[in-house]
């Protein structure tokens, strides 16, 4: 090859690299938040009908125990029946009435409207979740307790990741012993870290008003907060099997009054606190969340509530959670179908790993359930990045690597377009026969208008994933995936965040509340 040819080739490669490095306009991006899934359907229509019928019977015949008195009053007034055994039972007519009143299309707002999430239909969004109590040190290969700084750092990282669409609190601030201050500082750290929608939990109902006051300050007033609530309450309102979590229900009632969207989260463990069969675990979770729909809509008809069926897998040999299993992927996909059947925005868990580190096991576990959740059209894919050790450990490097992984999962969600231009018959003709009448084409598609035109809009490229040849890899000193993820983490954390509060607002917050984050 001549020097001129080499220069021309390298110049073309440099131009292509520059093109890929430039941010794409929203309409040109190959993937984006809220793409429609729903092509994967492990349950038949008959299966869905049987699960629905079983859930209705469970509510009519078994019911739920341990609702707070306020919840009993609301639900009995709506038509639930309080038995002598203290359990609330739900006639199917009541369930159907409340489903008709339930909010069918929810927008979860970000502090920046560019990050708003449309939870209608089969629109898919990926994000974090958890409440892990440890952080993963990938280089020391050990675990330590999580802190408020770790939570802020996670929020700051999420704010920069294209394919992580929302932040639900992924870890607990273990360095704050007082639960009221922990809840308040969770709100502060997450909102200061990201402009995307945030989900969090509250320990007690009495702790919510201060947190809501803080949210009003950040929003610029109660009216602005109620117009665009950028935080939702992740609420474990049930303790499976078929019991209400009394304290969490009280929290939920206060959050509804404050105008905060709620995630009705039922997290039974198949084989322990839920039936061991995939179908049975889905039945129980659906029944519990239907009771939640009755609860919410008996208080405030049409209040935004996400149908949070989160049944988890279990390794029946040991009793350990198996969130990275094939059974988990099926549980989540089946739940997504039930959400669509009811026409209610829903969420479930996918993308978490049982592996203790971001290794090959974590890769296969995270990808399997993330892809199946997306293909099933799950509106909110919780736990999608960063979570390890069956929800006990969170990892910043894994969160960053998860952005690449979710990018590939979203490309699967987008699917295959089959328009005339996609069939490419004329491209095949020109490549094989030529366009000059010679009968000889170039014999390849490299450099054609279609190939170059679709290079960015149809293909998803990893930020950290390595696609070089072994020779190129060696020439680049054999780059290490985890070290590169750490380097990116450090660069993100060293830069200022767009979510940082105005200094005057921050001073006012610190004067009003005890803030633990420097």
pLDDT tens digit sequence for 198-233: 999 999 999 999 999 999 999 999 999 999 999 999
Q: Looking at residue 57, what is its pLDDT?
A: 98
Query: Average pLDDT for residues 86-106, to the nearest whole number?
Result: 98
Residue range 247-298, pLDDT digits in tens: 999 999 999 999 999 999 999 999 999 999 999 999 999 999 999 999 999 9
Provide the pLDDT confidence category of residue 449 given band limits of 50, 70 and 90: confident
Structure-block tokens of residue 36 = 């429609």
Q: Are 213 and 245 in contact (CB under 8 A)?
A: no
Does position 180 have pLDDT exceeding 90, yes or no?
yes
Q: Looking at residue 12, what is its pLDDT?
A: 56
User: Does 362 map to a domain?
Assistant: yes
Q: Looking at residue 16, what is its pLDDT?
A: 55
Provide the pLDDT confidence category of residue 1 given band limits of 50, 70 and 90: very low
More confident residue, 1 or 495: 495
Query: Average pLDDT for residues 31-36, to the nearest whole number?
Result: 96
- At residue 400, the 3 state secondary structure works out as helix
User: Does 177 map to a domain?
Assistant: yes
User: Does 359 map to a domain?
Assistant: yes
Q: Looking at residue 206, what is its pLDDT?
A: 98
Alpha-carbon distance 97 to 82, whole Å? Answer: 18
Reference 52, options 263, 340, 264, 346; nearest CA is: 340
Alpha-carbon distance 494 to 482, whole Å? Answer: 18
φ, ψ for residue 89, nearest 5 deg: -120, 150
Alpha-carbon distance 245 to 266, whole Å? Answer: 10
Provide the pLDDT confidence category of residue 7 given band limits of 50, 70 and 90: very low
Does position 435 have pLDDT exceeding 90, yes or no?
no
Does position 9 have pLDDT exceeding 50, yes or no?
no
User: Does 455 map to a domain?
Assistant: no
Structure-block tokens of residue 187 = 């709100």
User: Does 503 map to a domain?
Assistant: no
Reference 369, options 337, 399, 324, 334; nearest CA is: 324
Q: Looking at residue 109, what is its pLDDT?
A: 98
Provide the pLDDT confidence category of residue 424 given band limits of 50, 70 and 90: very high
Alpha-carbon distance 321 to 168, whole Å? Answer: 21
Query: Average pLDDT for residues 55-78, to the nearest whole number?
Result: 98
The rounded percent of the chain whose pLDDT value lies above 70 is 95
Cα Rg, the chain, nearest whole Å:
25
Residue 451, CB-side half-sphere exposure with 13 Å CA sphere: 9
Q: Kindly list the distances between the CA atom of residue 489 and the CA atoms of 40, 374, 395, 407, 495, in Å, as whole numbers in the listed order.
A: 34, 26, 11, 18, 10
Does position 356 have pLDDT exceeding 50, yes or no?
yes
User: 6-20, 201-215, 324-338, 339-353 — which is least confidently predicted?
Assistant: 6-20
Query: Average pLDDT for residues 309-334, to the nearest whole number?
Result: 95
Structure-block tokens of residue 34 = 């809220």
Does position 192 have pLDDT exceeding 70, yes or no?
yes
Residue range 380-389, pLDDT digits in tens: 999 999 999 9
Would you call 139 exposed, middle or buried from its count of C-beta atoms within 10 A (0-12, 13-18, 19+)? exposed
Does position 2 have pLDDT exceeding 50, yes or no?
no
Does position 15 have pLDDT exceeding 60, yes or no?
no
φ, ψ for residue 372, nearest 5 deg: -65, -35
Q: Are 312 and 285 in contact (CB under 8 A)?
A: no
Does position 72 have pLDDT exceeding 80, yes or no?
yes
- At residue 465, the 3 state secondary structure works out as coil
Q: Looking at residue 22, what is its pLDDT?
A: 59
Number of other CB atoms surrounding residue 233 within 10 Å: 26
CATH number at residue 145: 3.20.20.480
Q: Give the start-end residues of each E strand in 220-313.
A: 231-235, 262-266, 305-309
Q: Domain range holding 206?
A: 99-414
Q: Kindly list the distances between the CA atom of residue 325 and the CA atoms of 46, 98, 321, 338, 404, in Å, as whole numbers in the listed order.
A: 26, 34, 9, 21, 21
Given 3-state DSSP classes, what are the helix, strand and coil percentages for the chain, each rounded to the nearest 5? 50, 15, 40
- At residue 270, the 3 state secondary structure works out as strand
Alpha-carbon distance 371 to 40, whole Å? Answer: 10
Q: Looking at residue 3, what is its pLDDT?
A: 45
Reference 451, options 468, 435, 427; nearest CA is: 427
CB-based contacts of 325, cutoff 8 Å, min separation 6: 313, 315, 354, 365
Cis peptide bond N-terminal to 241, omega within 30: yes
Query: Average pLDDT for residues 165-173, to the nearest whole number?
Result: 98
The rounded percent of the chain whose pLDDT value lies above 90 is 90
Q: Are 145 and 182 in contact (CB under 8 A)?
A: no
Provide the pLDDT confidence category of residue 438 given band limits of 50, 70 and 90: confident
User: Does 159 map to a domain?
Assistant: yes
Query: Average pLDDT for residues 428-456, to the nearest whole number?
Result: 90
Global confidence as pTM: 0.94
Q: Are 314 and 269 in contact (CB under 8 A)?
A: yes
Does position 119 have pLDDT exceeding 80, yes or no?
yes
Alpha-carbon distance 302 to 104, whole Å? Answer: 8
Enumerate the β-bridge partners of residue 308.
265
Provide the pLDDT confidence category of residue 23 given band limits of 50, 70 and 90: low
Q: Looking at residue 8, what is its pLDDT?
A: 40
Would you call 474 exposed, middle or buried from its count of C-beta atoms within 10 A (0-12, 13-18, 19+)? exposed
Query: Average pLDDT for residues 338-355, to the nearest whole number?
Result: 98
For the chain, how many structural domains are there in total?
1
User: Does 86 map to a domain?
Assistant: no
User: Does 248 map to a domain?
Assistant: yes
Mean model confidence pLDDT for the chain: 94
């Amino acid at each position: 090859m001549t020097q001129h040819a080499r220069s021309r080739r390298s110049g073309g490669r440099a131009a292509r690299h520059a093109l890929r490095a430039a941010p794409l306009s929203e309409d040109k991006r190959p993937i984006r938040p809220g793409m429609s899934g729903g092509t994967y359907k492990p349950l038949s229509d008959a299966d869905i009908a049987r699960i629905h019928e079983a859930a209705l019977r469970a509510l009519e015949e078994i019911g739920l125990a341990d609702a707070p008195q306020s919840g009993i009053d609301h639900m009995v007034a709506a038509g639930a029946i309080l038995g002598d055994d203290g359990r609330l039972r739900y006639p199917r007519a009541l369930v159907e009435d409340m489903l008709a009143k339930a909010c069918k299309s929810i927008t979860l707002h970000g502090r920046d409207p560019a990050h708003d999430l449309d939870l209608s239909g089969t629109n898919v969004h990926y994000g974090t979740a958890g409440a892990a109590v440890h952080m993963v040190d990938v280089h020391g290969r050990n675990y330590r307790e999580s802190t408020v700084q770790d939570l802020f750092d996670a929020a700051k990282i999420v704010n920069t990741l294209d394919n992580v669409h929302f932040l639900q609190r992924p870890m607990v601030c273990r360095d704050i012993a007082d639960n009221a201050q922990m809840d308040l500082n969770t709100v502060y750290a997450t909102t200061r870290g990201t402009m995307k929608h945030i989900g969090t939990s509250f320990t007690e109902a009495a702790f919510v008003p201060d947190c809501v006051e803080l949210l009003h300050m950040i929003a610029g007033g109660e009216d602005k907060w109620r117009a665009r609530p950028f935080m939702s309450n992740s609420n474990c309102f049930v303790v499976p099997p078929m019991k209400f979590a009394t304290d969490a229900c009280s929290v939920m009632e206060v959050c509804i009054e404050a105008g905060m969207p709620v995630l009705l989260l039922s997290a039974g463990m198949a084989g322990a606190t839920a039936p061991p069969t995939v179908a049975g675990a889905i039945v129980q979770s659906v029944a519990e969340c239907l009771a939640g729909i009755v609860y919410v809509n008996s208080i405030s008809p049409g209040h935004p509530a996400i149908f949070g069926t989160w049944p988890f897998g279990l390794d029946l040999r040991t009793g350990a959670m198996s969130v990275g299993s094939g059974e988990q992927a099926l549980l989540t996909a089946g739940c997504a179908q039930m959400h669509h059947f009811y026409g209610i925005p829903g969420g479930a868990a996918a993308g978490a790993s049982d592996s203790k580190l971001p290794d090959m096991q974590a890769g296969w576990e995270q990808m399997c359930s993330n892809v199946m959740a997306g293909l099933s059209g799950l509106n909110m894919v919780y736990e999608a990045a960063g979570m390890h050790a069956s929800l006990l450990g969170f990892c910043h490097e894994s969160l960053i690597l998860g952005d690449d992984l979710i990018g590939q999962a979203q490309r699967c969600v987008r699917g295959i377009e089959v328009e005339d231009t996609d069939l490419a018959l004329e491209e095949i003709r020109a490549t094989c026969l030529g366009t000059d009448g010679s009968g000889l084409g170039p014999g390849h598609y490299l450099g054609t208008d279609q190939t170059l035109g679709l290079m960015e809009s149809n293909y998803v490229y990893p930020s950290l994933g390595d696609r070089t040849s072994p020779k190129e890899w060696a020439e680049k000193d054999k780059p290490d995936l985890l070290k590169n993820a750490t380097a990116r983490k450090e660069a993100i954390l060293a830069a200022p965040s767009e979510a940082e509060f105005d200094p005057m607002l921050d001073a006012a917050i610190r004067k009003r509340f005890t803030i633990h984050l420097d």
